Structure 1
Amino acid sequence: MVEQNQQYEEQLGEKKLRLRNLLQPFYDDEITVFRSHPVGYRMRAEFRVWHDDDDLYHIMFDQTTKEKYKVETFPAACDLINQAMQVILPLLKVNETLRRKLFQIDYLATTSGELLISLLYHRQLDEDWVLAAEKLKQGLDALGAVNIIGRARKQKIIIHHDFVTETLSIHKNDYTFVQIENSFTQPNAIINQCMIEWAIENLSGIKGDLLELYCGAGNFSIPLSKHFTNVLGTEISKTSVNAAQKNIQNNNIKNLRIARLSSEEFVEAFNQTRIFRRLDGLSLSNYNFSTVLVDPPRAGIDLETIELIRQFDHILYISCNPITLADNLKLLNNTHIVSSAALFDQFPLTPHIESGVLLKKIK
């Protein structure tokens, strides 16, 4: 453990230096670092399944050699996922209906003890599989609230629910989030809470309305809705939009609307160059946007969206790729200055860097 902690400190220092160097042209102040526990932080994990005569086990692939290796425990994952990994394999091994042509197992857990297990197959699933999966669920119920999904080509069979409900405590306020199977969720729940609180602290006190692009299931929008007059989120994924609508209702949020639009489509709607039926009943002219929050994919923000967000007084940019973040900051540098920066260690003991910056418009 001492050696692991030392390795963590060294790698975290390297990450901070890398981020500082990338932000150097735009920001030369302190970078706030949010540290993660080096083990037990992942709330989701995916494993291939290897069949060896009567045996089967979880495997992963070495990123350098591409060789498979057996995974008996996964220290990065939370305790609930590790417990499920130990319990499920003996139950699958002795059941030919469940194990036949099974090639992958996905786990999604919550800090509140819910678990969703997806079993992926290279064959069609039938009624015998459903009966066997229901017995499997009974065998796993000692772990807590367990849901099972069976997936095959053009098939999705749900045993109980296809979602879990996570509860996050944000500045001592609890918010619940439906997390639907096979949709994006933040993998590190504790660091996710830090990200949301950092966003609130940096945007608190700003008047007007908030626009969030790439809003997902409302991870940022819902807690931030307390701090703005109105919030509009946009998201292209139907699954995420449906989850966001449930989360808005479950958290009793009255001033947040979600539009199923990509960022590029929102630019067209905002500039009135295209009319979208998906915006029926929602008038963009009724919003007084002062702030935009963006959490784009690894490729960063496209040029048209950059031109849109530079119109806002405040831009809060959450990034999963500091290289594309730096590239986008080069384009925003002539209208905005970076006033705050943070490193969120979502994936400890890996090279991955999650970061955030707040930009303010140059007056």
Structure 2
Amino acid sequence: MTTPLPENEYQFLLDKKVQHITTLFGEFSLPPLDIFPSPSRHYRMRAEFRIWHNKEELYHVMYDPYTQKRIRVDSFPIASKLINLAMQAIVPLLKSSEILRDKLFQIDYLSTLSNQLLITLIYHRKLNEDWLIAAKNLKQNLTNQGIDVHIVGRASNQKICLDQDYIDERLNILNHIYTYRQVENSFTQPNAKINIDMLSWAINVTKEISGDLLELYCGNGNFSIALAQNFNKVLATEIAKASVKAAQYNITVNTINNVKIARLSAEELTDAMKGVRKFKRLDGIDLADYQFSTILVDPPRSGLDKNTLEMIIKYQTIIYISCNPLTLKDNLSFICKTHKIGQLAIFDQFPYTDHLEIGLVLSKKDE
């Protein structure tokens, strides 16, 4: 980003988004809003850039989503300070290495509040032993500049890890440190401060709920691990293998004893709960052992499908984390026939955009 951030307009832009949500959900009976603002800069923990080659020159670029115009990016103030430091350091190192820059077309950065960095270099050519040697030199040069970095190389049907393809985040949530393994090319929450706010909010609004928790779309166990303290047992599901593996590690490293992860999609779990299908991936997990009072869903932008909606309204309490207010509104038109909204929070995950993360707690209406 080559232009300054409109930081003096941040509060105005946030207020505008809040007003939009209030209007959008005006047909529902809404409780008072909890609003969680983001830092105005250096809030984004991951970033992806195309690499532009111009003879001996090389630099990061992004594309305007409307005009598709190429924009040179020498600094990126919405990204973490660590990503910005790495962006400055890596360009001259790539320019000086023909092996590293040859057919390099994209760089992905993933950083943590614990100052770990993962860089993925993506190529339009097959990577060989010479590339590996050059990449090791790159890692050493970045390390010498004080950057704790791990490097992954990718090409078509090829992935090379110099040492590891993950970094470990450490989040202070209500004065407790949680460790979360984050794997390259897997989903992680992009705004770490807002993620801390979401997890703290979720813990606080579920303190008085008893029973067991079922979570769909658990990713690396982000919510289920933090919320385990408020429930007798937690069963969480996720379909992506890398995320399931990370979640299993996170359960162990945080010494959580009441959480189990099943590699199932929301649709598959719905079938399993109905007894429609049996899954070998549920071996060792007896669904009958759980007394689920609460379900947490954090679906993709498309929201929840009809079968999953019909399944979740059977629970006393629904925690819904949404990244798309439009599909959330559509889902609420169904859910609010049986449930009422008790808690509503707005998390400014993506400042200076129209996007918002929303958290709701819904309870069954009295019969």
State the TM bucket, normalised to the shorter chain.
over 0.9
Q: Distance in 1 between matches of 2:47 and 2:134?
A: 23
Question: 32, 53, 56: which is aligned to 2:55?
Answer: 53
How many Å apart are 1:119 and its aligned residue?
0.0
Report what 2:76 is aligned to.
74
Does the CA-based 8 Å contact 1:35-1:344 persist in structure 2? yes
Question: 244, 247, 250: which is aligned to 1:247?
Answer: 250
The aligned amino acid for 2:108 is D
Question: 193, 197, 200: which is aligned to 1:194?
Answer: 197
Inter-CA distance 3–82: structure 2 relative to 1 (3 Å threshold): closer
Q: Distance in 2 between matches of 1:85 and 1:143?
A: 13
Report what 1:7 is aligned to.
9
The aligned amino acid for 2:116 is E
Report what 2:114 is aligned to.
112
> Given the alignment of the two structures, is residue 272 of structure 1 paired with residue 240 of structure 2, yes or no?
no
How many Å apart are 1:2 and its aligned residue?
11
The aligned amino acid for 2:74 is E
Q: How does 1:284-323 map to 2 (within 5 A)?
A: 284-323=287-326
- Structure 2's unaligned 5+ residue stretches are none
Residues 64-87 of structure 1, C-alpha deviations (whole Å, 9 max, x = no match): 211101000001001000000000
Q: Distance in 2 between matches of 1:128 and 1:276?
A: 45
> Given the alignment of the two structures, is residue 178 of structure 1 paired with residue 173 of structure 2, yes or no?
no
Runs of 4 or more consecutive aligned structure 1 residues displaced over 4 Å after TM superposition: none
Report what 1:43 is aligned to.
45
How many Å apart are 1:6 and its aligned residue?
3.3
RMSD (Å), alpha carbons = 1.2
Residues 330-351 of structure 1, C-alpha deviations (whole Å, 9 max, x = no match): 0011100001101100111111
Inter-CA distance 2–83: structure 2 relative to 1 (3 Å threshold): closer
The aligned amino acid for 2:65 is Q
Inter-CA distance 102–3: structure 2 relative to 1 (3 Å threshold): closer
The aligned amino acid for 1:322 is P
- Structure 1's unaligned 5+ residue stretches are none
| 1:161 partner SS | coil
| 1:220 partner SS | helix
The aligned amino acid for 2:128 is D
The aligned amino acid for 1:179 is Q
> Given the alignment of the two structures, is residue 210 of structure 1 paired with residue 213 of structure 2, yes or no?
yes
The aligned amino acid for 1:11 is L
The aligned amino acid for 1:307 is E
Inter-CA distance 135–289: structure 2 relative to 1 (3 Å threshold): same
How many Å apart are 1:30 and its aligned residue?
1.5
Q: TM-score with structure 2 length normalisation? A: 0.97
Q: Distance in 2 between matches of 1:287 and 1:117?
A: 41
The aligned amino acid for 1:294 is V
Q: Distance in 2 between matches of 1:317 and 1:293?
A: 6
Does the CA-based 8 Å contact 1:27-1:339 persist in structure 2? no
| Paired-residue identity, % | 52
| 1:143 partner SS | coil
